Chain A
Amino acid sequence: MSHPDEGLIHAWLDGELDAEEAARVERLVAEDAAWAAAAAEARGLIAASARILSHLDSVPGDVLPKDSRSGGGVAGVAATPVTRGASKGFTVQPWMRLAAGFVLVAGVGYVAKGALAGPQDAPIVAAEESAVAMSAPETTGPSADRAVADVAAPTPVATGKVGARVDAPAASQAVAAKATAPSVAQAEVATGTVAKSLDSIAARERSLAEASAVQANATQSAERLALSSAVITAAPAAPEARREAMRAVGGAATSGLSMRSSMAALADASTRLAGCWQTTGATASDSLLVNPLVLRSAGDTLVIAISAKPDSALVRVQSSTTYSGTVIDANGRRVAFSMTRVVCPARP
């Protein structure tokens, strides 16, 4: 009896061994009890790993915008394992560079528009994107090559979504200049789903910025602003901003999400909860809750944000001054929770 090589067994089960080595492992598994047991365990671990990781898939389908699903390719790809060794290279055509420039300009334009609308919170975009946007009219020339020279794979530089603030008038000028280019319409069509998805990012940033501005007016609590974009979108005084932000949070494929929530119900619930509440039972929550944010509302059942973690609670009316229910804490556990109206303490 030999000691089984677990790495070798996993490689065998993953189909990574050549024919000769695979045959050797197969013989060992067939003839040696220890190897057989190890192979059985490995099979179980592979299955368990796949199952555990599947819990992390919040949105397994509807990944792409609806328009791009019409071709049927997306569903097929989503359901079919990726073919090994797919290595067809492709060469970027000049129009593709132009298209990339265009979608970035469009994104910056969206954000710049939001900046003009909301003076307190100028949208923030990556410095790299704004640089590309400014050079967009020259995207087919040498300047465009220089502008993108820093993105060669496989060691890209992350841009993130934080960076230099966009000068809105300048960005608008870039958009205007781009609009006069003869190939823009062609480029927009050619980029197809990529452009749509990038637009959704720009729209999301714009709507989140708008929601942030509204929220700043609606509550004086800085902690509330730190909760998350999902919480921010609960601001009842800004239906349009909230709808946009909710769509963004839910992803491009969940555009119907806003229809599920009643703005009037949220506003009513927020009014009912205005004031100070003494909370008990949730270790992660503050003992005093001021003007709780309502995430969802259905009659007397509310989902509210209760801390800056952020945690949320499902509560029901017990009396006009008491609500009780459960909390989904940071670990996804349920904890009993109640809140009772109290007189707000005087500010020092």
Chain B
Amino acid sequence: MDQAERLFREYHPTLVRYLTRRLGDRDWAEEIAQETFVRALRQETIVNERSWVFAVAHNLVRDGARRDARNRRHLELLAAEERDAHVPDVESTLEAAQERARERGAARKALDALSEKDRQALLLKEEGLDYGEIAAILEIEKSSVGTTLSRARKRLAEAYEAQQDQRRGGSHVAS
């Protein structure tokens, strides 16, 4: 296996997951990931592969933030529905898709409730990056990563729970 293929195999799954979580759009995530690996092909030397890959993807997303994130989230929801669709049993599939969409919507809102730094730190940590790598990508002190993650995890859980409470209240009214 050559180096380029090895790099792709080793980091593509985690990078796409990180980007999908961050962007809320699988197709967009794939685009950014592909661009990241194309740049890796062009790069002469990469000292720390994992940090490099995530840093490039991080910067690509940052620089491309002008895109309409809201529409892309809708696209992701619709794309997920299409992937899950089974024509012979469209209703049950829709019910399941709706439930997944609700969970996804609550998680997305909870994640959006975090500050940018907290959100990025949390997503990077979830992909296995260590405190040193996270600090380098986000350009913060390594000693502050623990506090950042502590705050991020707490706010995420609280925001998600608030979403769930709100949803339960909304369901009650609707029924």
What is the interface of chain A, defined by CB distance below 8 A to chain B? Answer: 6-11, 14, 16, 42, 44-46, 48-50, 52-53, 55-60, 63-64, 68, 71, 73-74, 77-78, 81-82, 84-92, 96-97, 99-100, 103-104, 148, 151-161, 190-194, 197-198, 201, 204, 228-231, 246, 248-252, 254, 257, 260-262, 265, 295-298, 301, 303, 309-312, 314, 326, 328, 330-336
Contacts and interface: CB of A to CB of B under 8 A. Distances in A.
A89 B47 contact: yes
A153 B46 contact: yes
Interface residues of B, number: 105
B150 A303 contact: no
B86 A260 contact: yes
A55 B106 contact: yes
B49 to A, nearest CB: 6
B174 A334 contact: yes
Given A45-B153, A298-B90, A11 B145 contact: yes
21 contacts: A6-B150, A7-B148, A7-B150, A58-B76, A71-B9, A86-B49, A89-B45, A90-B3, A90-B7, A156-B60, A158-B60, A158-B64, A192-B5, A194-B37, A249-B75, A260-B87, A261-B87, A295-B81, A309-B74, A312-B78, A332-B98
Contacts of A193: 5, 8-9
Contacts of B86: 260
A45 B118 CA distance: 14
Nearest to B36: A156
A254 B153 contact: no
A151 B62 CA distance: 15
Contacts of A190: 2, 4
A57 B17 contact: yes
B127 interface: yes
Nearest to B127: A82
Contacts of B67: 160
B81 to A, nearest CB: 8
A148 B35 CA distance: 13
B140 interface: no
Contacts of B64: 158, 160
Q: Tell me if A's interface is mostly helix, strand, loop or mixed.
A: mixed
A10 B146 contact: yes
Interface in B10-32: 10-14, 16-17, 20-21, 24, 26-27, 30-31
Contact of A60 (B17, B108, B130, B157): B17
Nearest to A252: B30
Contact of A197 (B34, B50, B88, B109): B34
A250 B78 contact: no
Interface in B129-175: 129-131, 144-150, 152-154, 156-157, 160, 167, 170, 174
A144 B18 CA distance: 31
A311 B24 CA distance: 16
Contact of B146 (A8, A77, A297, A330): A8
B98 to A, nearest CB: 6
A100 B42 contact: yes
Contact of B157 (A6, A52, A88, A328): A52
Interface in B44-78: 44-52, 55-56, 59-60, 62-64, 67, 71, 74-78
Of all A-B residue pairs in the complex, the 5 with the closest CB atoms, nearest first, are A7-B147, A332-B105, A158-B63, A11-B146, A230-B78
B104 A55 contact: yes
Nearest to B24: A56
A86 B82 contact: no
